[in-house]
Amino acid sequence: MKQQETIEVEGEVGALLTKHGMPRKKKKMNEMEKKGLIFSIVVLVPVFITFLVFWVGVNFQSILLAFIARDVETGKEVFSLYNFEKIIIELKNPNSALGEAFINTMKYFALHLVKIFLSVIIAYFLYKKVPGHIFYKILFYLPAMIPSMVYITIFKEIIGVYGPIYTLLESVFGYEMPALFASDATATNTILFYVLWSGFGTSMLVYVGAMNRIPGEVIDAAYLDGCGMAREFFQIVLPLIWETFGTYFLLAFTTIFMETGPLLYFVGFDRSLNTMTINYWMFTQVYGNEYNMPSAIGLFFSVLTVPFVIVCRYLISKIETVTY
């Protein structure tokens, strides 16, 4: 702990001057502190190198790619704002591929927020040890545990034409279920339903873990004071797990345009249905060897998201967290 204090003092401007305003002599590091610095450097240098190459380098190249477009007349690649102009034109048209991808992305985002709230409610009941809670924890984590490929392939077969649900509805009610992946509206809604239905696993476990760390005495004291479950949840549990909750909330904003959903397994590279999200649209473009437009879209939406994230982070930090 001693070394931590020493370095921290050196880092402060005020600490470099004595009370008479004279420059203070820098405190020399002792042998142990030097070794600690070497250890930190050995650990962090490879991390810095990969960061510089695969984050800074990649992002720098991505920015360059975003401003490159092919000249129609000469066929040569030129620096221009063409990609960004095209993005704005496409976004203005809700029927364009990008416009529809944007609308779908917003639907995923809204669903993501719903999932955050539902996860915390489910976690609360599991934390309160609802009858069968151990069994439910395993069941609810199934979709996160079993690879999406497995789950989605089976799910698609179950809801498909002549699948078990179709056959049951037809034989019992005489109702012929429509092919859910035959129209844009039902296809997207089916995928959204799947995302919600299967999406509580990991976050639910994290919330339960956070709730389990709440001191039992706090809950006991609240109970003795006549606190009901709703009040306990909103006024005790939620504030005490606010950091975890807030982090998930912030991550939802950070990843707002990064949502690909399980589209690869549901629709593959089929573009006849308007089920794309912005990020999945970029994936299919890059897979088809188109690099400039996806980079431009990435840059455009990254810049667009920053203010939202900053405001959201500010608002979350304004809510007082309780330490225990």
Partner 1 sequence: MEKTVKIKKRKKVAIPLIIASVIFCIYGVSLAVPILWGFIMSLKEPFDYFYDQLSFPDPPHFENYVRAFQELSAEGTPLLLMLFNSIWYSVGGTIVPVFACMTAGYVCAKYQYKICRIWYWIALVTMIIPVMGTMASSLKLSMDLGFYDNPATLVTGYMATGSNFIIMYAFFKGVDWGYAESAFIDGAGHARVFFQIMLPQATSPIIAVALTVFISKWGDSQGPIMYLPHWPTLASGFFQFQQTAGKDQYPIMFAGLLMSAIPIIILYIAFQDKLMSLNLGGGLKG
Q: Of 288-307, which residues contact partner 1 (CB under 8 A)?
A: 290-292, 294-299, 301-302, 305-306
Helix-then-strand count for the chain, H and E: 17, 2
Do 122 and 202 contact (CB within 8 A), yes or no? no
Q: In Å, how far are 6, 35, 99 from 31, measured between CA atoms? A: 13, 6, 61
The least CB distance from residue 267 to partner 1, in Å, is: 11
Stretch that binds partner 1, among 19-27, 71-79, 177-185, 209-217 (CB under 8 A): 209-217
Q: Which two tokens stand for residue 32?
A: 């142990």
| CA distance linking residue 176 with residue 182, whole number of Å | 14
Q: If binding means CB under 8 A, how many residues of this protein chain bind partner 1?
A: 119
The least CB distance from residue 112 to partner 1, in Å, is: 14
Helices 242-254, 201-212: crossing angle, 10 deg rounding: 150
Helix (H) or strand (E) holding 260: none
Stretch that binds partner 1, among 14-22, 71-79, 138-146, 175-183 (CB under 8 A): 138-146
The least CB distance from residue 76 to partner 1, in Å, is: 18
Site for partner 1 in 148-187 (CB under 8 A): 148-151, 153-155, 157-158, 162-164, 167-168
Site for partner 1 in 256-295 (CB under 8 A): 256-258, 260, 264-265, 268, 278-279, 282-283, 285-287, 290-292, 294-295
The least CB distance from residue 250 to partner 1, in Å, is: 7
The answer to the question of residue 146 lying near partner 1 (CB under 8 A) is yes
Say which DSSP state 16 is in. G
35-54 as b/e, with b when 16 or more CB fall inside 10 Å?
eeeeeeeeeeeeeeeeeeee
Judged by beta carbon, residue 104 or residue 198, the one nearer partner 1 is 198
16, 89, 110, 130: residue in contact with partner 1 (rule CB under 8 A): 130
| CA distance linking residue 16 with residue 23, whole number of Å | 6
The answer to the question of residue 18 lying near partner 1 (CB under 8 A) is no
Judged by beta carbon, residue 34 or residue 185, the one nearer partner 1 is 34
78, 81, 103, 139: residue in contact with partner 1 (rule CB under 8 A): 139
Site for partner 1 in 71-100 (CB under 8 A): none
Sequence-separated (6 or more) residues with CB below 8 Å from residue 191: 261, 262, 263, 266, 275
